[in-house]
Chain A
Amino acid sequence: MARVVVDVMLKPEILDPQGQAVANALPRLGVTDVSSVRIGRRIEIDFAGEPDLDRAREIADKLLANPVIEDFDIRVVQDAAEVA
């Protein structure tokens, strides 16, 4: 399995209304010690052959993330257990 995981997150300076709504709901669960929640998106790309990090980075930069408002991280997942 040649899997690349791309994590896309809104840049820290961009307000994340979804995360804020979740943070505001936490006291209803009795959770009062969380100061911030931010919500992002995890995308898994499976390459047919070897994982190509450069191409994955290009895909992320051009399509998966909007660099105007989002940052992204890329990593290859090697461990079968982690893939599962």
Chain B
Amino acid sequence: MTMRIGVVTFPGSLDDGDAARAARIAGAEAVRLWHGDPDLRGVDAVVLPGGFSYGDYLRCGAIARFAPVMESIIDAARGGLPVLGICNGFQVLCEAHLLPGALTRNQHLHFRNRDQWLKVEATNTAWTNRFTPGQEILIPVKNGEGCFVADPKTLDALEAEGRVVARYIRGNPNGSQRDIAGITNEAGNVVGIMPHPEHAVEALTGPSLDGLGFFTSVLRALAGATADGQLAGGQQ
């Protein structure tokens, strides 16, 4: 049966089309979800795409987090639904308290847009089980408020529990603490990542095909087994 990956559109989302396309290229059915509609339409996983939710007037993701669809997603994520937040989606997940920490203005105040090398660390999540620990991947980064911050205790806990999903290598584009580019929740079903895997799924438009691994990972997690034969965190 074809897995259904929901992609939420907020006012200001601009990568929802690419996220849906990436889901289709990975072999899933992409289901478009509207921020004002709490119905998740029976999807097996959800992607919160990049963009500028509600213009991010207050703080990135602060208002989007109260969207009707988010109430459903927060409940479902706590129940194990795989959720991937990319860029603005990562900010929304932090504001929704599904992930710890916060994303703040880039330290150098400049918008950064470039192809970025990452090192994948946690591969036991619903969204990264197709990678090998330490694998280096190249995917685009483009953000103005991508600097991940948290108090030292939270950062230490993330490291100790193996919840750093990916770290910037060969340069940190925004000043993120400990070069953190992405993190996961305790169960491993919710992942937030600042760079954009959905822009690296086709040779024509991306710097690599490395981003596809996020989308094929969730299909494997939903199918029930990870690379090491254990159940991926979070699937129902």
Listed in ascending order, the chain A residues whose CB lies under 8 Å from chain B are 10, 13-15, 17-18, 21, 63-64, 66, 68-69
Q: Mark B112-150, 1 if CB is under 8 A from A, else 0.
A: 000000000000000000000000000000000000011
Chain B residues within an 8 Å CB radius of A15: 104, 107, 149, 175
Chain B residues within an 8 Å CB radius of A21: 109
Taking the closest CB of chain B, its distance from the CB of A10, in whole angstroms, is 8
Chain A residues within an 8 Å CB radius of B151: 13, 68
Contacts A15-B149, A68-B150, A69-B149 known; list 12 others, CB within 8 Å.
A14-B149, A15-B107, A17-B108, A21-B109, A63-B58, A63-B62, A64-B58, A66-B102, A68-B100, A68-B102, A68-B151, A69-B102
Interface size of B in residues (CB-CB distance below 8 Å): 20
Does B106 belong to the interface (CB within 8 Å)?
yes
Is A66 in contact with B107, judged by CB distance below 8 angstroms?
no
Does B59 belong to the interface (CB within 8 Å)?
yes
Taking the closest CB of chain A, its distance from the CB of B8, in whole angstroms, is 20
CB-defined A-B contacts under 8 Å, sample of 10: A14-B149, A15-B107, A15-B149, A17-B109, A17-B175, A18-B109, A21-B109, A66-B102, A68-B102, A68-B150
Does B105 belong to the interface (CB within 8 Å)?
yes
Contacts A66-B59, A68-B150 given; does A17 touch B102 at CB 8 Å: no
Chain B residues within an 8 Å CB radius of A17: 105-109, 175
Chain B residues within an 8 Å CB radius of A68: 94, 100-102, 149-151
Most B C-beta atoms less than 10 A away, residue of A15, A18, A64: A15
Taking the closest CB of chain B, its distance from the CB of A15, in whole angstroms, is 6
Taking the closest CB of chain A, its distance from the CB of B59, in whole angstroms, is 6
